Chains A and B, each alone.
Chain A
Amino acid sequence: MKSNQDTPLLLRKHRTEEWIGRGYTTICVLFLIVIIISIVYFVATKGISTFAIDHVSLSEFLFGSTWSPDDNKFGALPFIYGSFLTSLLAALIASPLSVCAALFMTEIVPNWGKKVLQPVVELLAGIPSVVYGFIGLSILVPFLRSTFPGQGIGVAAGAIVLSIMILPTITSIATDALSALPRNLKEASYGLGATRWQTIYGVILPTVLPSVLTGVVLGMARAFGEALAVQMVIGNAPHIPTSLFESASTLTSVITLNMSNTVMGSVQNNALWSMAMILMLMTFVFVFVVRLLERRHKL
């Protein structure tokens, strides 16, 4: 349709447009890469300086259970332990609840269940973490204090608050997996005379298990990194707790408590950065596990 004379011009115009488009989008991607490299670089250099410059031994940091910066004791085990304990407990509480919610929406009352629960779950995801902390401190802690031994504040309070926070993550992934199931799978089971529970237990759950696990790991990752809500209800004693109703600390809670009180470059401040580095490394681990699960899921 275009005459031959126009072609070079059109081509040139094309080429400029292409350049602009390609250049612009490439810069955006470069920005992403620059960001991640600088985060890793800065957090790692700060985190490593505890060991390289201040000569705190790595094994003491990872396995020492005494955190007493005044006496130059930087054992971070209580915090690492606290982080793992609370996020594991939160996942333990939230997973069955989430799976139930997902089943409710897809298997039991698919027509109106989704209409009621879906917005509820999305809202739960949208409530800011400070509000969770506020509610935890105002309702949950007094309740635990009057019902169980201890002061209400402690590991249990932290785990419960976290479990509500990660519930939406697990639920939405489980729901997606359940709705993606081929229909004939279920119909075959029902056709064989199986009850709904037998179908769920024998056919549906084993099929969606890898996806549900992905959700659980993502939920744990979120719980592991959550800071303010946990810090408000966990009590923050730098010790390994012996009871669920005892005050304990997580990596995030000790960072939020002490970061602004310490001077940059001091050993204690560097030790906090080392904990931030552990949080960062754990993120890599969580992402890696999720990828592994997804790969198995695809096979």
Chain B
Amino acid sequence: MKPKAADKLATGIIVFFALLIVAVLLGMLGFILFRGLSHIDWHFLTSEPQTIREGGGIGPQLFNSLYLLILTMIITIPLGLGAGIYMAEYAKPNRLTDAIRLIVEVLSSFPSIVVGLFGLLVVVQQFDFGFSLFSGAIVLTIFNMPLMVRVTEQAFRSVPKEQKEAGLAMGLSKWKIITSILFPVALPIIVTGTILAAGRVFGEAAALLFTAGMTTPHINFSDWNPLHAASPLNPFRPAETLAVHIWKVNSEGLAPDAIQIAAGASAVLVIMVLVFNLLARWLGRALYRKFTSIK
């Protein structure tokens, strides 16, 4: 009877802890959404923040987060894909390849604050890009590239050998095989991985404090020339993202509704992460269906 009792007890404990985790998440989500959703409306999402008055919004921050995401991906995707393809198709199993793999691993586990400080020292000050979207994008690229490399490598390795051999038999060059045969097959996994990696851009704050800055200068949303200082598209202007804004409002906010703004912005942030998660799954599945069924 004793082992049975122990079994029941252990099962109970395991189930309890598992449910506890679910409860903690639901509690946190509930807290954020409950406190935040009531504050979210069109005005909040589009208007500029206020320094001391009530009723400030998160419009520029929301735009900055999205734009920074796009900038980062423009740099990350080609570089990450290239390095991943190299690791999967060109790298020979030797010491150098092992070393590169180690580099990818180390790079992906660097604390964000260390990479942020590196960005402050080198990109912001040495290269004199200042606190800008561009500096932020470079730093985020350093974070996202290892992820991209790993995802790409795995995706290419998962392609059945026969497909590659078929390409070789047709007399195609290796590069041609990679781009026209392997890449489409690997694409669903790459897309899913990329979107998940992109989600990290939204949440990152520590590194951006030192690189993209904590200020949003006045942005003129009717001027779309990237070379103008007040244009939203100018990559060399300082830009506070949503996550950084939460940090700032929480710690320095003078507006009387600072807490509601922080809660509202947190809710928006969490919803965006949720959307990204769902989008990644959906797109991955859709692409997979498209490429595996009859074209």
B10 to chain A, nearest CB (A): 4
Inside 8 A of B89's CB, which chain A residues have their CB?
Answer: 25
Complex Cα gap A116–B21 (Å): 11
CB-CB < 8 A to A10: which residues of B?
171
A127 with B28: CB separation less than 8 A: yes
- Residues B1-60 near A (CB distance < 8 A): 3-4, 6-7, 9-11, 13-18, 20-22, 24-25, 28-29, 31-32
Instruction: Indicate whether A135 sits within 8 Å of B28 (C-beta atoms), given known contacts A18-B175, A227-B206.
Output: yes
Complex alpha-carbon distance, A287 and B108, angstroms: 10
Give the complex CA separation of A39 and B146 in angstroms. 15
Chain B residue nearest in CB terms to A278: B114
Which of B76-84, B215-223, B227-235 lies at the interface? Answer: B76-84
Could you say which of B112, B115, B178, B274 contacts A123, with CB atoms under 8 Å apart?
A: B274
Is A213 an interface residue when CB atoms closer than 8 A count as contact?
A: no
Whole-angstrom distance between the alpha carbons of A238 and B126 in the complex?
A: 31
Is B111 at the interface (CB under 8 A from chain A)?
yes
The answer to whether A36 and B103 have CB atoms under 8 Å apart is yes
Contacts A18-B175, A32-B149, A108-B15; A39 near B114 (Cβ below 8 A)? yes
Binding site for B on A (CB under 8 A): 2, 10, 13-15, 17-18, 20-22, 24-29, 31-33, 35-36, 38-39, 42-43, 46, 96-97, 100-101, 103-105, 108, 113, 116-117, 119-124, 126-131, 133-135, 137-139, 164, 167, 194-198, 200-201, 218, 221-222, 224-228, 232, 252, 255-256, 259-260, 264, 273, 276, 279-280, 283-284, 286-287, 290
Partner-A contacts on B (CB < 8 A): 3-4, 6-7, 9-11, 13-18, 20-22, 24-25, 28-29, 31-32, 78-83, 85-87, 89-90, 100, 102-107, 109-115, 117-118, 120-122, 125, 142, 145-146, 149, 171, 173-176, 178-179, 199, 202-206, 209-210, 243-244, 246-247, 250-251, 262-263, 266, 269-270, 273-274, 276-277
A131-B246, A227-B112, A228-B205 are known contacts; what are 18 more A-B pairs with Cβ within 8 Å?
A17-B175, A21-B175, A25-B90, A28-B86, A29-B82, A29-B100, A32-B146, A35-B145, A39-B115, A43-B117, A104-B15, A124-B25, A128-B246, A130-B247, A131-B32, A135-B28, A139-B31, A260-B210
